[in-house]
Structure 1
Amino acid sequence: MTKRIFRSILVVSLAALLAALALVVGVLHGYFESRTEADLNQQAVTIARGTALGGIDYFEGLNISSRVTWVGQDGTVLYDNWQNASTMENHASREEIQEAMSLGKGTAVRWSDTLGQTAIYCAVRLDDGTVVRAASTQYSVWALVLQSVQPILVVVIAAMILAAMLASRLSKSIVRPINELDLNNPGGTSEDFYEELTPLLTRLRMQNHEIRQQMDQLRRRQEEFSAITENMSEGFLVLDIRTRVLSNNSAALRLLETDCVPVPGETSAFVLSREEGFRRCVEEALAGRRSERMVRRETLCRQIIASPVMQDGHLGGAVVVILDVTEREQRESLRREFTANVSHELKTPLTAISGTAEILENGMVKPEDVGHFAGNIHREAGRLIELVNDIIKLSRLDEGGADGPWEEMDLYRLSKNVLEQVRPAAEKRNLTLSLKGGPAMACGVPQILEEIVYNLCDNAVAYNRDGGSVTVTVEDTGKGARLTVEDTGVGIPAEARDRVFERFYRVDKSHSRGGTGLGLSIVKHGAAYLGATVVLRSEVGTGSTFILNFPPAEH
């Protein structure tokens, strides 16, 4: 814009300069013409006086640059200082001669064959009727210009430089208020902006207000979107048609287990994960088909769902949702395993009961052996009932409910009662039972607390060595009650310590030690229900120690 204004001002300045020069030359031309005519007229009068006094002899001593001609009454040329008078034609028909003879003076401007250019003629009549004429060349405009070409060029060049300087300063001063406009607050603080810009500035203010409102709305939406997506446990990716990531949340990077932070519009989704399932999902979605696949890595399981995005009937990209289904898959696996284990555990006693009953039904048992077989049926039925009861207990704990209100109980007294319950089984194996510590209060459902302590002590007896010991320690730590059950049994291998709390899991696969395989699972779920934590320490061949830390009892 500055250059255009500069060029416009410079052109206007030069045009004005040229026009002024033309006007000056024209004025000078008129001035020189009138001046020349006046000088010639004065010369003609002077020569006429001299001729009247001296006759033709006056011309002999006359030294003048103008052409002087003396014409008789009949138009015959009597004298001419530039030409031979005898060879010149009659001048009676000349305009200035005729005018001088009739009026006393005459003037004319015409082309002169003698001078070879336009000339000015001034004629004066003498008393004897003859006419004296003076003539001089008329300078044309171009002649004047050519005679003054050097000063004119100097003036033009100086004027051009001055015009360029002034045009530059003026163009900058014109543009400066526009360049200094504050587009965020147009016309708000400036005092020298052009009034002609008022409509533009008003429109800019309105547009700025609309833009600020739109930006505030977009910012609020972006913040809401970010707040929602960043607090999602599910990951999502928005991809363009070339697999480049346009948007994502942090959960997507966490679930894809990548440290790469994608640059929007530049990073390919395949940089984030090179898993075959992920790649196939993205490729199928960008081909226009919805895709869903499972991606497994070690113990983790991810569900990838990719859907195409259509824009005006054309494929514009894809949206990829990443779900962490590890826990769901583990639960499903545990459910299948639990179903299989329950079926197996129920089948064993039922098979024994069915087989024994069939033998009795067919009369294949001697009367004196009936009691033995009936005892087998009774034991297997009891085992079956115990298994069902344990399953019911676990189901109630899973559902977050248990029979009975919460009460404050003394773990020391409870442990003492439980040890008395397992004492008969311990005496059969020569095990030493001991209780240490003192009173410590814990809050919970009495039935659940008793089940926890009983299962720990029962396992300590069942998996102990003959002649070993079981030690129960109860103490109040100041931050809650602590129950420790320690045995001198076979211990638990390191690879099995994380699984002993699973349902029906047994370190001893032979089932030779009895039990339902649900005892430690009841301990784990019961402790979780009461807000307690379970810690296991064990060494193979040395024994195991189970530590329960209860939260402080509320008085």
Structure 2
Amino acid sequence: MKKKINLQFMFISAVGILLTFCLSTVIFYELFKSEVVDELKTYADVIKETQSYDQILQGEYDPDVDDLRITMIKKDGKVFYDSFADAKKMENHANRQEVRQALKHGNGKAIRTSDTLDKNTFYYAVRLDDGNILRVAKESRSIWSVFIKVTPAILILIFVILAISKMLSDVLTKSLLLPIEQMSENLDHLEDITTYKELMPFINTIQEQHKNILMNAKMRQEFTANVSHELKTPLTAISGYSELIQNGMTNEEETIRFAGEIHKSAKRLLTLINDTIRLSQLDTSEQKVIYEAIDLYKIAEDCVNMLKFSAENHGITISIHGTNAYLEGNKEMLEEVVYNLCDNAIRYNNEGGKVDVTVKPVKGKIYLCVEDNGIGISKEHQERIFERFYRVDKSRSKSTGGTGLGLAIVKHIIQQHGAHMELTSEKGKGTKIEIEFSKSR
């Protein structure tokens, strides 16, 4: 990256130098041409005012200027005097640009380039009182000859400037990349890095991502430890009971009881594995979630009917209220949401308690509420109950067969559907979980 920045910096410097040189050369040459023409005009006006024609024709006029060429031309274009050439051998000048302008307007000028000599000749002509034309001329290098002459100096200048640019670009690049290098070496203390304000959004993003990575790594580590612990408990029970039965250390009544415990632990183990797999799928699944128009009330109604037998076994009354409520969502996921919320409301309730499920449209949104009058949740636990494997009462969770993953699954699905969830609970009085869905995504 440093090399690339240096090369780009030097390239820009070189282009800037060349463009500046070319532009300056053109501008200065244009000024030079203007000065030469003005100078010729001055000479012509002086000759005209002093009327030194006889001196010119006799070759006695000294303009006190090197290389000044004086030409006298008749009205018809015939040259009758030239200070640099034999006038008799010169062609008619009637069609020369400066002569035509002088005959018509009183004065004229022209610049002609000699490709052979690589020079420009500047001409200025003025019409005299007798109608003849006085023309003065002077040779000068062309712009290309000027350019070629100064090229060595320009090349040396370019080399010097590029060398300076290289040193400056090294310093600037180092100062530019220093905060980034410091970040790569010390991601845990980005706030201690001194940098420029333009880089702050980038640093804040990196810092946030780094914190998220560390948090996710910690969560995965805790999740792995929790899974291992949760799997160990039923596996230990299965192993212990089966070993007793295998060694013939139980009577018929104990064998039946231990077999029941093995079945219960196996069922709990299977539920735990299924919930773990499901949560992992929600975390990492790359499959596109299919959303369709569904009736949330119908999903809740089917769930309530399915759980009525379980509720009766726990001495709980479960009922549903509301009306049809259509939204765009994933049917299987929303079935999981309603089932987990209702199953929790039944598990963590008191005998003789009740669970009320409400689904209805409210102010352009779809409202789902699962409320119970069970054991409730104290305030210090309410913020954490959606964490994986978090349990308010671990002994009760194990006795009711809870895995501690149901509400984590609910939270994940709710987030995927862009819904808003709110928990209201009071210890000993019950829990209410309300969710608001948009009708369309």
Q: How many residues align?
A: 288
Q: Secondary structure at the match of 1:550?
A: strand
Residues 248 and 356 (structure 1), Cα distance of their counterparts in 2 relative to 1, 3 Å cut: same
Counterpart residue number, 2:243:
358
Q: Distance in 2 between matches of 1:429 and 1:349?
A: 23
Counterpart residue number, 2:294:
409
Q: Secondary structure at the match of 1:443?
A: strand
Q: TM-score, structure 2 length as denominator? A: 0.54
* Correspondence 1:463 to 2:304: no
Q: Distance in 1 between matches of 2:433 and 2:29?
A: 78
Q: Distance in 2 between matches of 1:543 and 1:439?
A: 26
Counterpart residue number, 1:299:
none
Aligned mate of 1:515, from 393, 399, 402: 402
Superposed displacement of residue 401, structure 1: 5.8
Residue deviations 1:170-190 (CA, integer Å, cap 9, x gap): xxxxxxxxxxxx989947998
Q: Distance in 2 between matches of 1:456 and 1:375?
A: 28
Aligned pairs for 1:150-299 (under 5 A) are: 186=27, 194-195=35-36, 246=176, 292-295=185-188
Superposed displacement of residue 454, structure 1: 0.4
Counterpart residue number, 1:375:
260
Counterpart residue number, 1:533:
420
Counterpart residue number, 1:37:
none
Q: Distance in 2 between matches of 1:396 and 1:352?
A: 28
Q: Match of 1:450, as an amino acid?
A: E
Q: Match of 1:194, as an amino acid?
A: E
Alpha-carbon RMSD? 4.4
Residues 321 and 401 (structure 1), Cα distance of their counterparts in 2 relative to 1, 3 Å cut: closer
Q: Distance in 2 between matches of 1:496 and 1:538?
A: 10
Counterpart residue number, 2:376:
491
Counterpart residue number, 2:364:
479
1:292 touches 1:305 (CA, 8 Å); kept in 2? no
Q: Distance in 1 between matches of 2:235 and 2:272?
A: 12
Residues 535 and 188 (structure 1), Cα distance of their counterparts in 2 relative to 1, 3 Å cut: farther
Superposed displacement of residue 397, structure 1: 1.6
Q: Distance in 2 between matches of 1:375 and 1:191?
A: 111
Counterpart residue number, 1:551:
438
Superposed displacement of residue 327, structure 1: 1.1
Aligned mate of 1:443, from 307, 322, 328: 328
Q: Distance in 2 between matches of 1:184 and 1:534?
A: 73
Q: Distance in 2 between matches of 1:463 and 1:197?
A: 103
Q: Match of 1:416, as an amino acid?
A: E
Q: Distance in 1 between matches of 2:363 and 2:296?
A: 15
Q: Secondary structure at the match of 1:470?
A: strand
Residue deviations 1:344-400 (CA, integer Å, cap 9, x gap): 111111110111101101111111332211111111111111111111211222233
Superposed displacement of residue 497, structure 1: 3.2
Counterpart residue number, 1:119:
none
Q: Match of 1:444, as an amino acid?
A: G
Residue deviations 1:171-224 (CA, integer Å, cap 9, x gap): xxxxxxxxxxx9899479989963499969x97xx99xxx9xxxxxxxxxxxxx
2:424 touches 2:433 (CA, 8 Å); kept in 1? yes
Superposed displacement of residue 529, structure 1: 3.3
Q: Distance in 2 between matches of 1:406 and 1:246?
A: 47
Q: Distance in 1 between matches of 2:285 and 2:225?
A: 24
Q: Distance in 2 between matches of 1:239 and 1:190?
A: 41
Aligned mate of 1:329, from 208, 214, 220: 214
Residues 329 and 303 (structure 1), Cα distance of their counterparts in 2 relative to 1, 3 Å cut: farther
Superposed displacement of residue 478, structure 1: 5.2
Residues 527 and 547 (structure 1), Cα distance of their counterparts in 2 relative to 1, 3 Å cut: same
Residues 454 and 197 (structure 1), Cα distance of their counterparts in 2 relative to 1, 3 Å cut: farther
Greater share of helix residues, 1 or 2? Answer: 2
1:294 touches 1:304 (CA, 8 Å); kept in 2? no
Residues 471 and 305 (structure 1), Cα distance of their counterparts in 2 relative to 1, 3 Å cut: same
Superposed displacement of residue 247, structure 1: 7.1
Superposed displacement of residue 534, structure 1: 2.6
Superposed displacement of residue 337, structure 1: 0.7
Q: Match of 1:293, as an amino acid?
A: N
Of structures 1 and 2, the one scoring higher in RCO (CA 8 A, sep 6+) is 2
Q: TM-score, structure 1 length as denominator? A: 0.44
Residues 414 and 246 (structure 1), Cα distance of their counterparts in 2 relative to 1, 3 Å cut: closer
2:29 touches 2:143 (CA, 8 Å); kept in 1? no
Q: Distance in 1 between matches of 2:436 and 2:234?
A: 36
Q: What 5-or-longer segments of structure 2 have no aligned partner?
A: 1-22, 37-139, 159-171, 195-201
Residue deviations 1:45-99 (CA, integer Å, cap 9, x gap): xxxxxxxxxxxxxxxxxxxxxxxxxxxxxxxxxxxxxxxxxxxxxxxxxxxxxxx
Q: Which has the larger radius of gyration?
A: 1
Q: Match of 1:350, as an amino acid?
A: L
Q: How high is the sequence identity, in percent, across the aligned residues?
A: 41
Q: Secondary structure at the match of 1:363?
A: coil
Residues 357 and 292 (structure 1), Cα distance of their counterparts in 2 relative to 1, 3 Å cut: same
Superposed displacement of residue 546, structure 1: 1.7
Q: Distance in 2 between matches of 1:187 and 1:485?
A: 87
Q: Secondary structure at the match of 2:438?
A: coil
Q: Distance in 1 between matches of 2:24 and 2:428?
A: 84
Aligned pairs for 1:54-65 (under 5 A) are: none
Superposed displacement of residue 520, structure 1: 0.6
Q: Distance in 1 between matches of 2:191 and 2:344?
A: 40
Residues 349 and 185 (structure 1), Cα distance of their counterparts in 2 relative to 1, 3 Å cut: same
Q: Match of 2:228, as an amino acid?
A: S
